[in-house]
Amino acid sequence: MQQTKPMMQRVSPRRLMGAATAALSMLCCAGVMAVAVLSAPAYAESDAVKELAAPPPIELPLKPSREFAKFPRYAGMLGSRQIVLRLGAKTDDPSGVHGEYQFTDNGAVILIAGDRDGTTLEVEESNDGTHITGNWVGKFAADGTLSGERMNVDDSDPQPFDLRPLAAGQPVPPPVAAKAPAETSAPAPGGHPVGGVGNVTTGD
């Protein structure tokens, strides 16, 4: 008896190519999903590290800092306006100082930072914590008084400052008005002053 051989089903080349393409697409999708799953924690960790490392944003207008609240205070006049200066040493720089000063009329706060070399003080100021808006050069007297000049960044518009230290808990004294120049008495008609005294005259 003659045995018949089973006939193998022929698959067209087009169907084989379609099946291969579908399998390749599935593999690619699986690979992309695996990379996404593995990479997600890495990206999340990187963003978290960046967020922690970035400095906190500066809020404007500036407000008095708690960090500087413990620093020694100085009160006096900067030009024609009264200020209260809080100035202290930096913890990471032996000669460095930093702090802030505040106008008593409108409460505006200005940051300062720089160096103190003996009795000489040289600091820069900023009204936004980023841009330098002025320079200070002054000296400390034996009684703790600080005096000197504040100038713009280009050293223009110098304004004198004269600040005195305040004891702990001491209230800020009222501002001292600038003294008007003394007026000299005009000589009486018909004469001229003698020895620089205006009210003593001699006749013609």
Residue in the block written with tokens 């205006």: 198
- The per-residue pLDDT for 100 is 97
Closest to 103 measured CA to CA, from 125, 83, 73: 83
Residue 3 has pLDDT above 90, yes or no: no
- The per-residue pLDDT for 142 is 96
- The SS3 assignment for 30 reads helix
Q: What are phi and psi of 37, to 5 degrees?
A: -65, -40
In this prediction, residue 5 has a pLDDT band, given cuts at 50, 70 and 90, of low
Q: What number is the average pLDDT over the span 155-176?
A: 93
- The per-residue pLDDT for 40 is 47
Percent of the chain with pLDDT over 90: 51
Q: Delineate the domains of the chain, giving CATH numbers in brackets.
A: 73-166 (2.40.128)
Query: What is the residue-averaged pLDDT of the chain?
Result: 77
